[in-house]
Every structure is written in structure tokens, then in C-alpha cells.
Amino acid sequence: MTVLDLDEAVGAMTAELVGLRREFHRIPELGFEEHKTSALIAEKLRALGLEPQTGVAGTGVVALIEGAHPGRTLLLRADIDGLPVDERSEVEYRSTHPNKMHACGHDSHIAMLLGAARVLIDRKHEMHGNAKLVFQPAEEGPGGAQPMIEAGVMENPHVDAAIGCHIWNNLPTGQIGVREGPILASTDQVEIVIEGSGGHGAQPQRAADAVVAAAHVVTALQTIVSRNTSPLESAVVTIGTMNGGYRHNIIADRIVMTGTVRTFDEELWRQVPGHIERIVQGVCAALGVQGTVEYTRGYPTTTNDPDMTALVREAAVAELGEEAVVYPEKTMGGEDMSYFLRAVPGCFFFVGSHNAAKGATHPHHHPSFDLDEDALPYGVRTLVASTLKYLAG
Ligand code: NI
């Protein structure tokens, strides 16, 4: 199926998409506090003639576009939360909420899904089945996808597949990144506590130094990636904080470290906690201190289904042309879109938004982050084309 005149339909609404994105950009809210955001989303959906369901898993919003013909249901997901970042840029649409910012571009995800909704409503007669619009809270933490699934978003009507996208400053505007298999990593957390026995800095023989043991633990943990992981696989073990001690001349009795663990491979994901435990216990035993590990699972790996990925790629190529659709690098970032993609086959794709001429060059989560708004129509066209293709009957 070829999608015709989407260019025209979406092109005509570019100014509207930009306006929507800026409206949401001004009011960033943190996970499960997106009250203004979800109220505004619901208002926009009602203006389109839809009947949104609000308060799903707290601040989530769901709306259904029913096709003219019976068929399957495709879930279209946008995350809606901002970050605890103080926006540095002086753009006129900058955040009006101190220390909160749409520094990951989720404002654009809302705008693109609302834009897609508007086009899809006009094309209901082509749809065999339904498009279920899911505006999900708390992607940046603690995670809103799993609570929305628990709230029943995959039923009534039953969801058969899912798509979603992320605006992406790692690709230039005009490119859509589509890749099958794992594309974003699992994001686990670890806390390691080392307990020794304190003492005078000048009498180490009478103490068990937690600082020296912690230093050995951090160094030894690097062997998980270098020695326990296949050279063809990738993983990250980062210790991000290390706290303890009292003064320069006192031997510390206790050090607390926290870190993040990222993997793509399911088996490695299962093995890493055991590797950490073994290293911490071994090093601590060797140095005469006590070590405890608390390992917390975060979002699982975000993995794209081969068939749904092929469908999105074909739809994007038909709509935007071969040269616009690229095979992106995987990223060690995480996403709770992973829960939807574990529940049903689906595809999560990237919408390039890097543009040096417009200053859209900063990485996501940076206080000066901004995106090239010319990217928005590309995202909308890919969402709409993929949906119409999936619901073509
Ligand atoms: Ni994000």
C-alpha cells in the first residue's frame, strides 16, 4: 500500500505541531506528577472528537481511534514526563517550571502522537481495526509503562502490536532510524556497601580500610565487561557514586557505592548480578572487610520484533523515501517502552532531530538540549504510515 498525500496533510500542520510541542515544553512535570500535561493532552484529544480515558496508572491518558472496518488494534505510545533539569537556554518557549525541563524531548513525542491522531481520524475509513493512543507517564522513572499495562491498557480492545518513537539528536533531521532486535539496553542498579574497621590514619595495621577495599572492588568490577562478556557483545558497569569517610587522617570504616549496569544480551543480563556478588565477596574476603550487594532490576532491554520492524521500515521508505530511513546504532540508554514490546510484537524507532544550524546539537538530558522542530513531521508521517499499513486489512 502506498500512502499518498501524507506529505501535504502533515506539511500543512507543521506550524501546529511546533505550537503543540512548545505548549508542552513550557510545562514540564516529573514522573507521575504530569497533571497539567495530562489535562492538556486530554483537552487536545477532546478537541479532535475523541473520548480520552484519564488517570490511567495515575497520570496516563488513553484514547481509541476506531477504524471503519473491524480488525486488529495497534498501540501507539508517547511518553510525557520531563526531567529534574534547570533549562539553560533562553528560547521564548523555555520551561516555566524551575528545575524541571523537557530535556529528553518527550514534549515532541506528545505533539507527534497528537498530530498522528489528527491525521488518522481523517483516515478512519481506511482502517481495519483500531489505533490506541497511549500517553504514558514517568518514563524517566520510576516507570509508567508497567503500571499502565497493569491498569489494563493492553485490553478493551485487545492490543495486537505496539509502535513508538524517540526524537533523536544522534541522527540528523530528515532521517528515521529503524533497527530490529535489541536497540536500547537494560538498566539495572547496584548498591555496594563495604564495611571495615576504622582507625587512625597513621596506624593502618590496627584497622580494616574500607576505602582501599572499595578501590579494589571498583577496579575488579571492570573485569565483568573485559573478561566475562563476549568481545562481540556490549555491556556497561559504571560505579557512579562512592561515599564514606570522615577526614583526611581517619581510616574509613564504611563506604557506600552505587552504580548502573547496562546489557543487551538476555543471558548476560541474568549473569551480571552473580558476577558482581562473586567479585565483591572475593575482594572483601581477601582484604578482611565485609561486603554486601543490593542489586535492583530496572527496565529490561528494548527489543524490536523483526516483522513489525520490517513493516515500519517499509512504511517509512514508502512515505519518506529510501535515503531517509537509516539503520541506527544501538544505545546503552534504557526505555520502558521495553514492557510494551515484551507484551506484544512492536517497533520503537528514532526520529532524527540534530541540526547544527539551529543549535540542536546537545545530547539528551543536557540543560541546553533542544531539538530541530522540522523533525516533527517526519515522526508523524512514519507513525501514520506504519499505522495505516498495519491496519490495511
Ligand atoms: Ni527519553
SS3 letters for 316-351? HHHHHCHHHEECCCCECCCCCHHHHHHHCCEEEEEE
pLDDT surpassing 80 at residue 1: no
Instruction: Classify strands 161-172 and 69-79 as parallel, antiparallel or unpaired.
Output: parallel
29, 34, 79, 81: which is the annotated catalytic residue?
81
Span from the CA of 267 to the centroid of ligand 1 (angstroms): 26
Residue percentage of the chain with pLDDT more than 90: 95
Could you read off the pLDDT of 112-169 as tens digits, one per residue? 999 999 999 999 999 999 999 999 999 999 999 999 999 999 999 999 999 999 999 9
CA of residue 207 to ligand 1 center, whole Å: 46
- DSSP 3-state assignment of 296? strand
Q: How confident is the model at residue 19, as a pLDDT? A: 96
Is the per-residue pLDDT at 277 higher than 50?
A: yes
- The yes-or-no answer on residue 122 being catalytic is no
CA 109 – ligand 1 centroid, Å? 9
pLDDT (tens digit per residue) in 209-257? 999 999 999 999 999 999 999 999 989 999 999 999 999 999 999 999 9
Cα(141) to centroid of ligand 1, in Å? 10
Please provide the average confidence, as pLDDT, over all residues in the chain.
96
Residue 48: which of 122, 103, 105, 100 has the closest Cα?
A: 122
pLDDT at 4: 52
How many residues in the chain?
A: 393
pLDDT confidence of residue 10? 76
| pLDDT at residue number 223 | 97
What is the enclosing helix (H) or strand (E) of 144?
A: none
Measured CA to CA, the distance from residue 154 to residue 151 in angstroms comes to 9
pLDDT at position 393, please? 79
Q: How is the chain split among helix, strand and coil, in percent rounded to 5?
A: 35, 30, 35
Q: What spacing in Å lies between the alpha carbon of 105 and ligand 1's midpoint?
A: 6
Average pLDDT of 48-62?
Answer: 98
Q: Which of 139, 140, 160, 253 is catalytic?
A: 139
Give me the domains of the chain, ranges plus CATH numbers. 3-184+300-390 (3.40.630.10), 188-296 (3.30.70.360)
Q: Kindly state the cell numbers that stand for 190.
A: 547496584
In the predicted model, what is the mean pLDDT of residues 43-48? 98
Q: What is the pTM of this model?
A: 0.90
> What band does 8 get if pLDDT is binned at 50, 70 and 90?
confident
Strand order in the sheet with 60-66: 53-56, 60-66, 128-136, 69-79, 161-172, 346-354, 176-177, 325-326
Q: Are 264 and 330 in contact (CB under 8 A)?
A: yes
In the residue annotation, 81 being an active-site residue is answered as yes
Residue 258 or 6, more confident: 258
Cis preceding-peptide flag for 142 (omega within 30 of 0): yes
How far apart are the CA of 40 and the centre of ligand 1, in A?
20
**Average pLDDT for residues 100-105, to the nearest whole number?**
97
Grid cell digits, residue 280: 565483591
Taking the C-alpha atoms of residue 197 and residue 299, their distance in angstroms, rounded to an integer, is 36
Task: Write out pLDDT tens, residues 76-94.
Answer: 999 999 999 999 988 999 9
- Please state the rounded mean pLDDT for residues 8-27: 90
pLDDT in tens, 308-361: 999 999 999 999 999 999 999 999 999 999 999 999 999 999 999 999 999 999
Query: Cell digits for 308?
Result: 513489525
